[in-house]
Structure 1
Amino acid sequence: MDFREFDELAAHRTAARAWIDANVRREWAEEQHRSGTHQTPELHACLARDGILGAGWPTELGGSDVDPGFARAIFEELVRAEVLCEGWITTVMVINTINHLGTEEQKRAYIPPALRGEILIALGYSEPDSGSDAAAAKTAATRDGDGWLINGQKMFTSTAQLCSHVFVLARTNPEVPKHKGLTMFLVPTSADGYELQPIHTLGGQRTNATFYSDVRVPDSAQLGGVDEGWSVMHVALVYERAAPGTGAIEQTPTDAIAAWARETRRPDGRTVLDDPLVAERIGRMAVDAEVARVLSLRIRWLAEKGEMPGVEGSMWKMFATEAAQRHYSDILDILGAEGVLTPDAEGAPVAGRFEHGLRTSVVGTIYGGTSEIIREIIAERRLGLPKSRSSK
């Protein structure tokens, strides 16, 4: 691989920035930060209207003729503008999984409406008693005539308050090892017996607890085969790193703290960056940021070759999120007392980005699988080490 910097989207940058200027309002980023909801319906409608959601998809499934490079450039510019599309990221994961494993009927039922902006899908994996150990799910799905009844509870169902469906991992066979008795269902949030309650995280994001009390779904809502949910979920996780806006830009604080240290002077007149210990710390952050960038490039390279990245996504996720924790901890050491000023505090360095970033980095090692679970995945699937826990 050639790791030199090359902007393959350079031809689309000007047009993408013009689209952002014409369609994105500055207050959307502020509202996402204030509410903790990282999905803006008005923006999503614009993306659907202009065919950006459908870029790269076949026309028979509702795809548009928009250049996928232009669409990717727009999502990168949205990240730079701090306007996030997390509900669309999870939706792309699921509709790619449907396209890979679903029936023709399911593809027609879910993919075209999603590309038109009519469907958003949240992820229903984690539970209160099992967290990142998704295979320990207790939410149960039992046969009921030509359909299923779902009963249980899910945690951290982010953007569910705006979604039309939740992709629910449910136990359909309690008599077999836990990984083998699970099935995936697409549950409408309009169904009787479905409820949600908001949860606000340390990082300021709103997520949800979702509840299922005799929620009835038809057999057509089941994806990938009964008791095959573990394999289905693995396909979805592979697509997680390829979703637009995911890994597009390595969001690190290195450039921001370097600029602050270069411009800020100590009482003796020297800049903060003149301190060799500060310079070393920032240098280490830059090295970490480059490692994370190269790991994400490997994922993209595999996807462009037509392969399905597996453990590579776990490697990137663990390194990038743990590095972010180290970086923000170092930054608060560098800033001293000013480092704990919140974004709404007068005089907060870089508008309080560093204090908020530290809180966000803590939950970053939990979302999408805790670092402990990710380490087990890497150990077992890449290093060939034995399982550390029983599958019973």
Structure 2
Amino acid sequence: MDFNRSDALAAYRVQAKAWGAEHLRPEWIEHERETGTHHNAELHRLLAEQGFLAAGWPKEIGGSDVPPELAAAVTEEIQDFGLRMDGWITTWMVLHTIDQVGTPELKRHIIPRGLAGEAVIVLGYTEPSCGSDLAAVRSRAVRNGDEWVIDGAKMFTSTAHEGTHVFLLARTDPQAPKHRGLTLFLVPLDAEGIDIQPIYTLGGQRTNATFYNQVRIPDALRVGEIDAGWSVMRVALTFERSIGEGGFGPTFVSALRDWFASGPEERVARGRSSYVRRFLARTAIDDEVSRLMTLRVESILSHGGLPGVESSMLKLFRTETMQRQHGGLLDLLGAEAVIEGGRGPLNGDIDYAFRNSVLGTIAGGTSEILREVIAERRLGLPRTRPAK
């Protein structure tokens, strides 16, 4: 592997910054913080209209002429501005999963709609009684002719109140062993029998509890083979855990270094202390490791592979590191770190970022589950509990 730093997006950053200056609006950040909704419908439509969502996809299924590198640079600009794009992230993951395992009919039905911004797909995995143990789901899907009837409940269905479909895991054979008898479906959220109730997290995000009562959908919205949902889940989780933050834009370290270097003498002196210098050095090393792990995952994906273990390693390292970094910064800055509203260090985002970093070690697979995946599939260690 070539470890030389090569910024593939460098030629597009000026264009992306100009786009951001023209289109991104500060009130969108305020609205996101007030509502807890990490999806902006107006921004999503804009990205779709200008072809950014469809960048890199084949023309025959709705792809655009926008260079993928420009789309990536624009996405980084949006993130640096302070906006989240959770609705697109989950849609992107499910579209790629459907592209891998869906029927030709389902691909023609949903992928062009997703790339056009018309379909926003959310995730329906976790349930009140199973947490991260997705194989223990109790939601049922029963075959009735050419339809399925779904009953059950899901927790933490983020963006469901803004979405059009939920990618839902249900048990289709209650007699099968735990990891079998599961099937995935693409369920329209406007179907009769669905109820969406808000839940607010430690980080202020609105997620949802969703309830399904005799919800009927056609078999054409099944994703993958019947009772083979666990295999489909592994594909979906690979894409979910492959999302990295290893770019070349402004980093947490550079922003913090610039903040210490500016302002009153006391702050500048504190920034030169051995404690702060060690903290910055450790953070820079962690960021570089995360960047390299991201490149490794991207390389496997670009060659048609599915980086199951590698994406779990990336997700575990990145989220644990982010929590440690923001927690360390709270200790370092003390009371200053909890000042919000743009008046504190780093625009007053430290406390907000720390609270969200706690959730990062849970969503998409807890750190404990990821350690088990790495131990079993990469290190070859035995399972710590009996297989069911």
The TM tier, using the shorter chain, reads over 0.9
Matched, 1:327 2:318: no
Task: Classify the secondary structure of the residue corresponding to 2:204.
Answer: coil
How far does residue 252 in structure 1 lie from its aligned partner after superposition?
A: 6.0
Amino acid at match of 2:9: L
**Distance (whole Å) between structure 1 residues aligned to residue 277 and residue 246 of structure 2:** 27
1:378 to 359, 369, 374: 374
Task: Classify the secondary structure of the residue corresponding to 1:142.
Answer: strand
**Distance (whole Å) between structure 1 residues aligned to residue 386 and residue 251 of structure 2:** 37
Checking the alignment, whether the CA contact within 8 Å between 1:62 and 1:115 is kept in structure 2 is: yes
Two-structure CA RMSD over aligned residues (Å)? 1.9
**Distance (whole Å) between structure 1 residues aligned to residue 118 and residue 67 of structure 2:** 21
TM-score, length-scaled by structure 2: 0.94
Checking the alignment, whether the CA contact within 8 Å between 1:123 and 1:168 is kept in structure 2 is: yes
Q: Unaligned stretches of 5+ in structure 2? A: none
Amino acid at match of 2:379: L
How far does residue 119 in structure 1 lie from its aligned partner after superposition?
A: 0.4
Task: Classify the secondary structure of the residue corresponding to 1:153.
Answer: strand
Partner of 1:36: 36
Partner of 1:65: 65
How far does residue 279 in structure 1 lie from its aligned partner after superposition?
A: 1.6
The superposition leaves residues 50-84 of structure 1 with CA deviations (integer Å, 9 ceiling, x where unpaired) of 11111111111111122112111111211111222
Matched, 1:227 2:244: no
Matched, 1:388 2:384: yes
Partner of 1:302: 300
**Distance (whole Å) between structure 1 residues aligned to residue 260 and residue 107 of structure 2:** 52
How far does residue 264 in structure 1 lie from its aligned partner after superposition?
A: 5.7
Checking the alignment, whether the CA contact within 8 Å between 1:264 and 1:272 is kept in structure 2 is: no
Partner of 1:45: 45
The runs of at least 4 consecutive aligned structure 1 residues that moved more than 4 Å come to 264-267
Partner of 2:309: 311
**Distance (whole Å) between structure 1 residues aligned to residue 334 and residue 132 of structure 2:** 34
User: May I ask how many residue pairs the two structures share in their alignment?
Assistant: 387
Checking the alignment, whether the CA contact within 8 Å between 1:169 and 1:229 is kept in structure 2 is: yes
**Distance (whole Å) between structure 1 residues aligned to residue 346 and residue 69 of structure 2:** 31
Amino acid at match of 1:296: T
Q: 1:374 to 1:241 in 2, by over 3 A?
A: closer
Checking the alignment, whether the CA contact within 8 Å between 1:325 and 1:362 is kept in structure 2 is: yes
**Distance (whole Å) between structure 1 residues aligned to residue 117 and residue 327 of structure 2:** 39
TM-score, length-scaled by structure 1: 0.93
Q: 1:136 to 1:330 in 2, by over 3 A?
A: same
How far does residue 185 in structure 1 lie from its aligned partner after superposition?
A: 0.6
Checking the alignment, whether the CA contact within 8 Å between 1:185 and 1:221 is kept in structure 2 is: yes
**Distance (whole Å) between structure 2 residues aligned to residue 370 and residue 64 of structure 1:** 36
How far does residue 122 in structure 1 lie from its aligned partner after superposition?
A: 0.1
Q: Which moved more, 1:228-237 or 1:303-312?
A: 303-312
Task: Classify the secondary structure of the residue corresponding to 1:156.
Answer: coil
Amino acid at match of 2:285: V
Matched, 1:77 2:73: no
**Distance (whole Å) between structure 1 residues aligned to residue 151 and residue 325 of structure 2:** 42
Q: Unaligned stretches of 5+ in structure 1? A: none
The superposition leaves residues 166-200 of structure 1 with CA deviations (integer Å, 9 ceiling, x where unpaired) of 00000111212211111001111011110111111
Counterparts of 1:345-360 in structure 2, within 5 Å, are: 347-360=343-356
Partner of 1:101: 101
**Distance (whole Å) between structure 2 residues aligned to residue 11 and residue 259 of structure 1:** 24
Amino acid at match of 2:372: E
Q: 1:39 to 1:280 in 2, by over 3 A?
A: same
Checking the alignment, whether the CA contact within 8 Å between 1:79 and 1:249 is kept in structure 2 is: no
Checking the alignment, whether the CA contact within 8 Å between 2:337 and 2:351 is kept in structure 1 is: yes
Task: Classify the secondary structure of the residue corresponding to 1:271.
Answer: helix
1:290 to 278, 288, 291: 288
Q: Which moved more, 1:89-98 or 1:14-23?
A: 14-23
**Distance (whole Å) between structure 1 residues aligned to residue 134 and residue 298 of structure 2:** 26
How far does residue 327 in structure 1 lie from its aligned partner after superposition?
A: 1.2
Matched, 1:113 2:109: no
Task: Classify the secondary structure of the residue corresponding to 1:53.
Answer: coil
Partner of 1:212: 212
Residue identity (%):
50
